[in-house]
Chains A and B, each alone.
Chain A
């Protein structure tokens, strides 16, 4: 529980108290089961109260947890025979985005996603899930390959944003993202996008055009980070919490704005509490939607994809 968040403190404290009481009972052989039941009941209520009323900023915190399941953990549980493929064939392999082929209930698919590290060492290798242009170009190469072999594409989004650095600019970060947006809007295969953690701006959108877009319950998606917005608006990155409140970045906000099609349920406390359950929720959604999408001819599919994007805004 060393990764607990500030607002989870009342839960942790009560859990500790229950543990203490339980060991007291064992040591002293007294019957306090009634008291324990009361406390457990209280714990349940506190949990529900906290987790069902998370503020946008608390959701940002959950979405960024180091413990939060990453693309690879979902791939392991949702697909079989996954083979990772590497490189953009132009410059290098970007570990911030992974991709490959595998089976979804026996259907061949291409799976691509941002990949954050699960510890500091891996995070350095994966640049905290912030891709360079070659990451987006690798993703595009794999998407075009999917189109060639008529495989649907499943996308997992989890990035603080596209990387800001000298190399990224030199190699055309803007061009790489723009090209993905254009190409993804016309790939003649179904694309399903799942936002699993952070949907950080252009870096997220570069993998985010699809026929269905869904978000996990505690994931977020925004044009800029709350820290970025608060430093622009108030010249102070520490007001991020205030920024998060006004920017409409939660899965629930995006559903209401008609930008996404579905919010996928997480267990109480967040996806990391039960990865298997979340994986099965994601899988059920993908399989159901894919079954529908595979019935469409490519013209209808592309028309619907175009209208999906076209209607956002005015």
Chain B
């Protein structure tokens, strides 16, 4: 016991040293990165890991499912890319593409924000919904687009997700939602808030048909999305390191006037607290989702 305790202590010290070294390395890498930026090297070619600061070839990162080759950091991923790594090729049929975003409260500056988001993300809204297959098993799938106004939920996002849930209910299909969202969209005010109620009510009806809903939390899942459909999965999966919470860390720090502990509101923390079933590496995501769907398709006949 005592020797174990001592060994632990020793380790603790070593970690500290390593951290220092890491910091040195990090600062070197930052310098390197700055030099690259100074030289105007195309950002489309290079990408810097937000975790280990390694400068990586964008092409390599893309091939590696947007995971850092060095430290395994999971980069944020666009909705289309997300669908392509999970679904069988050419199996996806998109729903409700015609639903167009509006400015229901005539919120000043919102229309310009929308145009910028369209340009930045290449999508019409912060979620793509539809039907696709995983190893041949049909499912309704929604994927949120973090590049579209931080994946925020306004009327169209709420409507698309609710319609997808209703279709899954009608067609008796399993449901998978990949969340990536900062929460309710401020520019649609109270209407955005009500989308939390709408999607949750749709899930309630889905659930009563005893159909499975797998919620996949990716970085970041916060605010009104966490406080509605994201936390209502029969099974809740998260990607490693994803920020998941109700209030954002900065808001909490401002409220309580103290620094938050390391790892607070990360996927691993949520799993430890009992709010996430499983943390799944992106490389294993497709396989795990398939297994879950497969198990749920089996007829549960028990001899009585």
Measuring CB to CB, which residues of chain A are less than 8 angstroms from any residue of chain B?
162, 164-166, 168-175, 177-179, 181-183, 185-186, 201-202, 205-206, 208-209, 221-224, 229, 232-233, 246-249, 253-254, 257, 259, 305-306, 309-310, 312-314
Contact = CB atoms under 8 A, between A and B. Distances in A.
A305 to B, nearest CB: 8
Given A172-B273, A182-B232, A309-B201, 12 more contacts: A166-B256, A177-B196, A177-B228, A177-B246, A178-B228, A181-B197, A186-B205, A209-B201, A222-B189, A249-B190, A313-B155, A313-B198
21 contacts: A162-B227, A162-B246, A164-B246, A165-B256, A166-B264, A169-B247, A169-B265, A172-B274, A178-B231, A178-B232, A181-B228, A205-B197, A224-B186, A233-B109, A233-B186, A247-B190, A249-B189, A249-B190, A306-B205, A313-B194, A313-B195
B224 A202 contact: yes
Nearest to B236: A175
B151 interface: no
Contacts of B274: 172
Interface residues of B, number: 57
Contacts of B198: 309-310, 312-313
A18 to B, nearest CB: 41
Contact of B246 (A168, A205, A248, A309): A168
Contact of B197 (A166, A209, A229, A248): A209
B interface secondary structure, majority: helix
Interface stretch (B10-18, B132-140, B156-164): B156-164
B204 A186 contact: yes
Interface in B249-304: 251-252, 255-256, 260-261, 264-265, 273-275
Contacts of A257: 190-191
A307 B128 CA distance: 24
A205 B193 contact: yes
B194 A309 contact: yes
Nearest to B256: A165
A275 to B, nearest CB: 27
Interface string B204-216: 1101100000000
Most buried by A among B155, B196, B232, B251: B196
A309 B197 contact: yes
Contacts of B162: 310
Nearest to B245: A169
